[in-house]
């Protein structure tokens, strides 16, 4: 089988493979968060806390819509990874073609619908009136550019399914640098406000997506589609939707809980929205390691499930957990001692002392629960990689229930302090479901899958 630039994760030391595969992914996720970080810093420092709140107020509805699309992309890459692990080259090409067709259709439909409905959604979320127009101008552009976002994530998902975690990172770095330049140009020079940040994000995503596609066409013989590979099959499309739909719904179900929390935070005023926005960006930056380990486990579990090496899935998950727990301790100590200086990157701590204090409280509370977040990521993506996407969707339901409970009960009772516990409650509840499910799946598969030697 032609495997240029691909990586086989079905043999060799799981720890070494996890580190080698996760390292470029981590670098890419860091750059992705870095340009999001710069977006927020430029908006907060140059446009003020109110405009920062305008962008932050769109976060959960953004996650609701974009997450649905990205969930489909992640789901569509699973059968590709499994076929690659099983050395089924025709299956890889067929699934790649169906992933392209389905992703194009869904991204166009979701982009149009979300663009038309963005302002009603923001009103439904109790967005403060003084930032509503700015929020709408930002999120409308983000939604219109959903096809650009899907292009990159679908292409990078296909490449990772074949074991190539480096190529997506290279183009993500390029996109990150481009995004920063465009932010400065559109916001500071052309005075486009928060809309400039959205345009910069859309253009950078388009560039990174096109770059990944060009590499796929030129350097991966296994992805050279033939006429027979381009025959659209309803049964193949149905099976891929059977994997992609639960993952998309998982993102959206999880996001519903986030929407409920955002609604409750919006009701606490502009300062609370700005604090959560700034602290959320920092927390996302600290969470990059979890994202990289999770994506690694999705491919690792998918390939080894396809190769019928079940014990290696356990070994990979164990090694990912060891690496992640060590990182969690370091991340918490960093946040504990440096939360306020870090928040100063986004907001003027002297002029916005209340926002800084609230942001530090939110960030520290979340960091104290990073170990549960680690296991949500690596266990869920391992389960998804093995093909059990409906189980992962139920974990999203657990997160939604927890966040909704916090929004309806804790926030009215405790105010902003209650909102700080929304994410931790969701992570713990998801783990209480996911961990027993993982062991149950493994026990069920023991008699069906040949263990590795």
CB atoms near residue 40 (< 10 Å): 23
CA distance 252 to 222: 33
From first to last of its 453 residues, the chain has per-residue pLDDT tens of 344 456 778 888 899 999 988 888 787 777 767 666 777 778 877 888 788 888 878 877 887 888 788 788 888 988 998 898 888 999 999 999 999 999 999 899 989 998 998 889 898 888 888 889 999 999 999 999 999 999 998 998 898 888 787 888 888 888 888 988 998 899 999 999 889 989 998 999 999 999 999 988 888 888 888 888 899 999 999 989 888 887 777 777 777 888 889 889 988 988 999 899 889 888 988 998 998 999 899 889 988 888 888 889 999 999 999 999 999 999 999 999 999 999 988 777 665 788 899 999 999 999 999 999 999 999 999 998 888 877 877 888 899 999 999 999 999 999 999 999 999 999 999 999 999 999 999 988 876 654 333
CA distance 278 to 360: 9
Q: Classify residue 218 by burial, with Cβ atoms within 10 Å: 0-12, 13-18, 19+.
A: exposed
Contact criterion met (CB below 8 Å) for 160 and 296: no
The tokens describing 22, both together, are 């996760």
Contact criterion met (CB below 8 Å) for 237 and 16: no
Quote the radius of gyration of the chain (alpha carbons, Å).
21
CA distance 436 to 439: 5
In the three-class reduction of DSSP (H, G, I as helix; E, B as strand; rest coil), residue 63 is classed as helix
CA distance 20 to 379: 19
CA–centroid distance for 441 within its chain: 24
What torsion do the CA atoms of 115, 119, 122, 126 make, to the nearest 10 degrees? -170
Nearest CA among 10, 13, 11 for reference residue 86: 10
CB-based burial, 417-432: b 16+ in 10 Å, e otherwise: ebbbbbbbbbbbbbbe
Q: What single DSSP character describes residue 55? A: H
Contact criterion met (CB below 8 Å) for 367 and 342: no
Measured in degrees and rounded to the nearest 5, phi and psi for residue 312 equal -70, -30
The model's pTM: 0.73
CA distance 158 to 89: 13
């Amino acid at each position: 089988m032609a495997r240029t630039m691909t990586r086989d994760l079905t043999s060799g030391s799981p720890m070494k493979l996890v580190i080698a595969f996760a390292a470029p992914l981590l670098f890419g996720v860091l750059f992705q968060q870095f340009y999001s970080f710069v977006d927020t810093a430029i908006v907060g420092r140059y446009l003020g806390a109110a405009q920062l709140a305008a962008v932050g107020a769109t976060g959960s509805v953004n996650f609701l819509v974009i997450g649905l699309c990205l969930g489909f992309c992640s789901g569509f890459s699973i059968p590709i990874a499994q076929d690659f692990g099983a050395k089924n080259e025709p299956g890889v090409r067929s699934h790649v073609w169906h992933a392209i067709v389905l992703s194009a259709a869904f991204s166009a439909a979701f982009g149009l619908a979300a663009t038309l409905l963005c302002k009603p959604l923001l009103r439904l979320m109790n967005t403060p009136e003084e930032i509503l127009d700015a929020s709408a101008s930002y999120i409308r552009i983000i939604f219109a550019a959903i096809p650009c976002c899907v292009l990159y994530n679908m292409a990078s998902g296909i490449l990772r399914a074949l074991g190539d975690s480096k190529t997506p990172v290279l183009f993500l770095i390029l996109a990150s640098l481009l995004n920063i330049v465009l932010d400065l140009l559109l916001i500071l020079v052309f005075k486009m406000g928060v809309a400039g940040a959205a345009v910069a994000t859309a253009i950078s995503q388009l560039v990174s997506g096109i770059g990944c596609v060009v590499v796929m066409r030129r350097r991966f013989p296994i992805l050279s589609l033939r006429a027979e590979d381009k025959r659209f099959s309803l049964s193949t499309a149905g099976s891929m939707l059977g994997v992609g739909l639960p993952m998309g719904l998982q993102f959206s179900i999880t996001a519903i809980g986030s929407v409920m929390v955002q609604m409750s935070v919006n009701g606490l005023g502009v300062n609370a929205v700005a604090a959560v926005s700034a602290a959320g960006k920092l927390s996302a930056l600290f969470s990059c390691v979890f994202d990289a380990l999770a994506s690694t486990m999705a491919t690792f579990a998918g390939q080894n499930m396809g190769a019928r090496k079940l014990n290696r899935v356990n070994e990979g998950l164990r090694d990912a957990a060891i690496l992640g727990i060590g990182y969690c301790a370091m991340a918490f100590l960093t946040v504990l001692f440096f939360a306020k200086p870090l928040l100063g990157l986004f907001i003027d701590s002297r002029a916005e002392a209340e926002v800084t204090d609230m942001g530090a409280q939110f960030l520290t509370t979340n960091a104290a629960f990073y170990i549960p977040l680690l296991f949500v990521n690596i266990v869920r993506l391992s389960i998804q990689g093995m093909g059990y996407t409906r189980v992962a969707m139920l974990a999203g339901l657990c997160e939604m229930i927890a966040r909704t409970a916090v929004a309806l009960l804790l926030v009215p009772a405790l105010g902003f302090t209650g909102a700080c516990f929304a994410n931790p409650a969701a992570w713990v509840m998801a783990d209480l479901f996911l961990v027993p499910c993982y062991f149950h799946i493994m026990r069920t598969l023991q008699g069906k899958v040949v263990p590795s030697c």
